[in-house]
């Protein structure tokens, strides 16, 4: 039997309804059953835990693990009990039923229980071990003082009972569903038979078959429907016939209209095809343009997002409208959105100087684009950084400003580097003072102010005295520390308006501005000298030093700061020449002397190259024999313009310039060669019978090459070393006694004699006469000149003669000019003298004549 179609939808409805009822009842029943069984398992587990805690309390308190283990093993025989764990009050395992060890998860639960479970509570949780579920119950023993009992109940029993109950319930629901479906089928079948007959008749009416009207005599809705359809059949038949006639007529009219319409459609279709083709072309063009625009937008958006520089768009009111991530990073924000939401007024919130935004807007009134707009801005954390902006106006077609677009570069590191370079370029790295360049710049500005009005200023140039001694004795680090100390003294002595600079080495300069009178500069100079004389503590040593200052007070009339500084330097050197540790004010005469000195230095260098020096010889007389016993070699400069120049006028300059080494060597070589010639001419048997004294500069005396130069001069001339006497001053010996002693020993090793010149004018220390290997002492002419009238001079000369005799030294009296002086010296037993009374310094030709006369006398 075929089921009627009316049966399908009610059947589907019943399937859905019974299915929902089955699901809801299964879920509700299963949940209720799980709760009840879990509660039963919990009660069972708690009862077992209390049983263990109450019955075995003595065993647990005694920490009898074996007894507890034997006890809990019996609990595994109870249904659903899977494991038992007993711990002490510290959470340490006392006994358990796991084989061979307790799983890590159970250990973690045991450890958490000691922390989380209160003294009188118990705790229940579900635990998964592998693919099995357990109900874990933890119960304290003696309120947790004796430990805890943990019992695991197997949830598989609960799940199995729930499953079996649900299966039984579903079977019952299925039986109910089948019975209900059968009753429904019978009901639908009874209704569908008359409806099927009516449906078949309606089908015949559709094909204009109006016969065989079904007879349905029931009084229900179906019967009423059948009688209504029979009444309608006659009317429908008449209407159909009339309608067919009208349809035929209208069909003919429609065919005619269709033909006309077809012609119009063809024409319109042709037009639409042409229009469609044009539209396709336009769409293709727009697609190409759109793709290009999208690519350009993607390209520039990528550039915008990934640019290293910050890029922004801001409104006229000073608010960011769009920024890229780089600008957010520069200003210390995480995202552009955070930046735009935080800063609503660029002028007051971003710029350190609020007027910078106004300056930017004012510039835009004159120009459309601004480049390298440098400002200081605040980051989000308050730090100050430097930025450089390039900004331009964005305007509409009417010329109205819409917004500003710009880029921002963080130039903080560059500014710091520039500041550091400026400081390095204009400051001394050792003392932190301005250097020469910065000093000259300040001096140039002071000179400009002086030209514009009454602006008095002075320049002080300072050099430390004997700074080289500190470097040589304590080392360069100590020297640097001394320079830093001196710099602090100068800063303390100066004013805030003064410029104090270090030029290098031990040279400093001070620019004093806005002085009321020249005495202000003098006062500060005295203060500086006094401050520098104070001891400096360096490396645990007290170091003393002094300084020489040159001052330029009259600063008008200078065109260049270098010239003013040059004159201050000149005055400083004049202060050194006058004895150091003092100041000297520059005057025009010093400048003229400096020019002369520079000219003299140039001529002196040329003279060394051209060997313009000539050696003169002053005889040393043996007054007991009234004959010449030797000569002192004295250098003279035969200047091409100024004639003969004495050593007092150029030796100090030669020492300062280092030319004295060449001059000393020239005199030494010529003197050795010449004395050898004279010895040969006189037929002298012993070199000591005719000697030559050669003066060695104090600057040259400390040079290691001096001994080799003396030895070479003796060897080249073939001279007996006993014929040569090296003259040095007292100051040359005492500047560095240890070096002097070593040098004298080396000279004595060559066989030459050592002579102390100008005795009595220097240190006049008797100890060095005993310490050093000295052969001859020459009494200075200043004592000899006064022996005629000055009793003190007579006493000094007598003392020197007596001392020389007792120490075995040869004494030579210098500067004998009168008969009375000679008589006194002879009366005191002096043997050797030299002076104008006998001979002035003679040229080689004059000495040849003198020696020729001596041969005739003999």
Which DSSP string corresponds to 374-429? EEEEE-TTS-EEEEEEEEEEEE-TTS-EEEEEEEEEE-HHHHHHHHHHHHHHHB-T
CATH of 7-167, one of 3.30.70.2860, 3.40.50.720, 3.10.330.20, 3.30.450.20: 3.30.450.20
Name 313's bridge partners: 322, 405
Per domain, the residue ranges of the chain are 7-167, 307-417, 432-586, 603-845
Q: What is the average pLDDT across 546-550?
A: 92
Place of tokens 């520089």: 309
β-sheet bridge partners, residue 81: 153
Mean pLDDT of 648-652: 84
Domains 7-167 and 307-417 share a fold: yes
Average confidence (pLDDT) over 216-223: 70
Percent of the chain at pLDDT above 90?
A: 19
pTM: 0.45
> Which phi and psi angles does 354 have, rounded to 5°?
-60, -20
Weakest-pLDDT range from 598-607, 722-731, 819-828, 835-844: 598-607
Terminal Cα distance for the chain, rounded: 185
Side-by-side strand order, sheet with 583-585: 499-504, 507-513, 457-465, 546-552, 583-585
pLDDT score of 390? 92
Q: Residue 202 — very low, low, confident or very high, per pLDDT cuts 50/70/90?
A: confident
CB 320 within 8 A of CB 313: yes
Residue of 536, 564, 532 lying closest to 548 (CA atoms): 532
Three-state SS string over 70-134 comes to HHHHHHHHCCCEEEEEEECCCCCEEEECCCCCCCHHHHHHHHHHHHHCCCCCCEEEEEEECCEEE
> What is the predicted pLDDT for the residue at 4?
64
Helix (H) or strand (E) holding 1: none
Distant-in-sequence, close-in-space partners of 63: CB < 8 Å, separation ≥ 6: 88, 94
pLDDT at 521 exceeding the cut of 80:
yes
Q: Helix count (H) and strand count (E) of the chain? A: 28, 26
* Beta carbons of 841 and 617 less than 8 angstroms apart: yes
C-alpha–C-alpha distance, residues 362 and 356, integer Å: 10
For all residues of the chain together, what is the average pLDDT? 84
Say if residues 616 and 637 touch (Cβ distance below 8 Å): no
Task: Output the CATH code of domain 307-417.
Answer: 3.30.450.20
Q: What tokens appear for 465 in the block?
A: 């005295």
Least confident of 63-77, 281-295, 683-697, 807-821: 63-77
The mean pLDDT value for 418-423 works out to 75
Q: What is the 3-state secondary structure (H, E, C) of 162-206?
A: HHHHHHHHHHHHHHHHHHHHHHHHHHHHHHHHHHHHHHHHHHHHH
Q: What is the dihedral of CA 669, 672, 675, 676, to 10 degrees?
A: -110
Residue 486 binned pLDDT confidence (cut-offs 50, 70, 90): very high
Name the CATH code of domain 603-845 (choices 3.20.20.450, 3.40.50.170, 3.20.20.80, 3.40.50.2000).
Answer: 3.20.20.450
Helix axes 156-206, 8-55, angle to 10 degrees: 170
Q: How confident is the model at residue 678 (pLDDT cuts 50, 70, 90)?
A: very high
**Tokens standing for residue 438:** 């910065």
Q: Render pLDDT for 242-291 as a digit per residue (tens, 0 to 9).
A: 787 888 888 888 888 888 888 888 888 888 888 888 888 888 888 888 77
Q: What is the mean pLDDT of residues 846-856?
A: 85
The listed range with the strongest mean pLDDT (185-199, 291-305, 393-407) is 393-407
Query: How confident is residue 5, by pLDDT bands cut at 50, 70 and 90?
Result: low
Exposed, middle or buried, 8 (CB in 10 Å: 0-12/13-18/19+)? exposed
Q: What share of the chain is helix, strand, coil (3-state, %, to 5)?
A: 55, 20, 25
At 814, list the tokens.
Answer: 């210098």
Residue 772 has pLDDT above 90, yes or no: no
Taking only Cα atoms into account, the Rg of the chain, rounded to an integer number of angstroms, comes to: 64
Other CB atoms closer than 10 Å to residue 310's CB: what's the count? 23
Please write the tens of the pLDDT for every residue from 620-647: 999 988 889 999 999 999 988 888 888 8
pLDDT for the residue numbered 757: 85
CATH superfamily of 432-586: Reverse transcriptase/Diguanylate cyclase domain (3.30.70.270)
Q: What is the DSSP string of 514-582?
A: S-SSHHHHHHHHHHHHHHHHS-EEETTEEE--EEEEEEE---TT-S-HHHHHHHHHHHHHHHHHTTSSS
The listed range with the strongest mean pLDDT (93-107, 223-237, 438-452, 577-591) is 438-452
């Amino acid at each position: 039997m075929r089921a009627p179609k009316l049966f399908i939808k009610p059947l589907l409805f019943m399937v859905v309804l019974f299915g929902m009822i089955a699901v809801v009842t299964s879920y509700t029943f299963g949940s209720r059953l799980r709760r009840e069984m879990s509660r039963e398992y919990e009660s069972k587990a708690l009862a077992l835990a209390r049983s263990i805690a109450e019955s075995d309390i003595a065993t647990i308190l005694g920490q009898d693990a074996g007894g507890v283990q034997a006890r809990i093993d019996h609990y595994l025989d109870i249904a659903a009990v899977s494991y038992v764990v007993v711990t002490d009050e510290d959470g340490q395992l006392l006994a358990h039923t796991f084989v061979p060890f307790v799983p890590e998860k159970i250990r973690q639960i045991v450890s958490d229980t000691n922390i989380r479970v209160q003294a009188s509570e118990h705790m229940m949780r579900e635990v998964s071990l592998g693919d099995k579920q357990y109900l874990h119950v933890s119960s304290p023993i003696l309120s947790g003082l004796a430990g805890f009992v943990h019992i695991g109940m197997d949830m598989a029993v609960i799940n199995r009972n729930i499953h079996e109950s649900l299966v039984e319930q579903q079977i019952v629901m299925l039986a109910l569903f089948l019975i209900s479906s059968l009753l429904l089928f019978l009901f639908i079948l009874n209704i569908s038979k008359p409806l099927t007959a009516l449906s078949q008749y309606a089908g015949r009416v559709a094909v204009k078959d109006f016969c065989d009207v079904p007879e349905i005599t029931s009084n229900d809705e179906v019967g009423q429907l059948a009688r209504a359809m029979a009444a309608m059949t006659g009317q429908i038949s008449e209407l159909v016939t009339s309608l067919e006639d009208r349809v035929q007529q209208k069909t003919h009219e429609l065919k005619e209209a269709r033909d006309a319409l077809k012609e119009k459609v063809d024409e319109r279709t042709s037009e639409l095809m042409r229009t469609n083709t044009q539209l396709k072309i336009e769409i293709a063009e727009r697609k190409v343009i759109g793709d290009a625009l999208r690519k350009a937008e993607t390209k520039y958006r990528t550039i915008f997002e990934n640019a290293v520089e910050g890029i922004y768009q801001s409104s006229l009111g000073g608010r960011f409208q769009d920024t890229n991530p780089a600008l957010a990073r520069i200003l210390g924000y995480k995202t552009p959105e955070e930046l735009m939401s935080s800063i609503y007024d660029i002028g007051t919130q971003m710029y350190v100087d609020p007027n910078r935004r106004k300056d930017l807007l004012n510039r835009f009134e004159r120009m459309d684009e601004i480049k390298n707009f440098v400002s200081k801005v605040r980051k989000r954390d308050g730090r100050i950084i430097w930025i450089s902006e390039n900004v331009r106006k964005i305007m509409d077609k009417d010329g109205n400003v819409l917004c500003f677009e710009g880029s921002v570069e963080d130039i903080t590191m560059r500014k710091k580097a520039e500041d550091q370079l400026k400081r390095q370029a204009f400051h001394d790295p050792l003392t932190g003072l301005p250097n020469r360049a910065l000093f000259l710049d300040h001096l140039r500005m002071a000179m400009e102010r002086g030209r514009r009005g009454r602006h008095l200023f002075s320049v002080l140039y300072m050099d430390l005295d004997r700074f080289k001694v500190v470097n040589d004795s304590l080392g360069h680090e100590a020297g640097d520390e001394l320079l830093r100390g001196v710099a602090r003294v100068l800063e303390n002595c100066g004013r805030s308006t003064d410029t104090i600079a270090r030029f290098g080495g031990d040279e400093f300069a001070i620019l004093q501005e806005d002085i009321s009178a020249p005495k202000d500069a003098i006062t500060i100079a005295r203060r500086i000298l006094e401050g520098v004389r104070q001891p400096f503590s360096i490396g645990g040593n007290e170091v003393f030093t002094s300084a020489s200052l040159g001052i330029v007070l009259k600063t008008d009339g200078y065109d260049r700061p270098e010239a003013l500084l040059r004159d201050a330097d000149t005055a400083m050197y004049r202060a050194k020449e006058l004895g150091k540790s003092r100041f000297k004010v520059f005057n025009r005469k010093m400048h003229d002397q400096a020019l002369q000195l520079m000219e003299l230095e140039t001529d002196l260098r040329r003279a060394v190259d051209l060997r313009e020096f000539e050696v003169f010889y002053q005889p040393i007389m043996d007054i007991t024999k009234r004959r010449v016993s030797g000569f002192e070699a004295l250098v003279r400069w035969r200047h091409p313009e100024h004639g003969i120049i004495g050593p007092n006028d150029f030796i100090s300059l030669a020492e300062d310039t280092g030319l004295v080494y060449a001059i000393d060597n020239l005199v030494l070589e010529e003197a050795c060669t010449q004395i050898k010639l004279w010895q040969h001419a006189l037929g002298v048997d012993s070199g000591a019978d005719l000697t030559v004294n050669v003066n060695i500069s104090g600057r040259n005396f400390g040079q290691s090459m001096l001994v080799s130069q003396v030895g070479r001069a003796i060897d080249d001339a073939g001279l007996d070393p006993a014929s040569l006497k090296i003259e040095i001053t007292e100051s040359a010996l005492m500047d560095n006694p240890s070096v002097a002693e070593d040098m004298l020993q080396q000279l004595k090793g060559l066989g030459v004699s050592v002579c102390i010149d100008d005795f009595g004018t220097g240190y006049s220390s008797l100890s060095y006469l005993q310490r050093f290997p000295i052969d001859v002492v020459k009494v200075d002419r200043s004592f000899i000149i006064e022996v005629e009238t000055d009793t003190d001079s007579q006493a000094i000369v007598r003392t020197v003669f007596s001392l020389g005799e007792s120490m075995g030294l040869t004494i030579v009296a210098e500067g004998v000019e009168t008969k009375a002086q000679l008589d006194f010296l002879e009366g005191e037993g002096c043997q050797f003298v030299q002076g104008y009374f006998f001979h002035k310094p003679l040229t080689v030709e004059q000495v040849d004549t003198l020696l020729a006369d001596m041969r005739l006398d003999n």
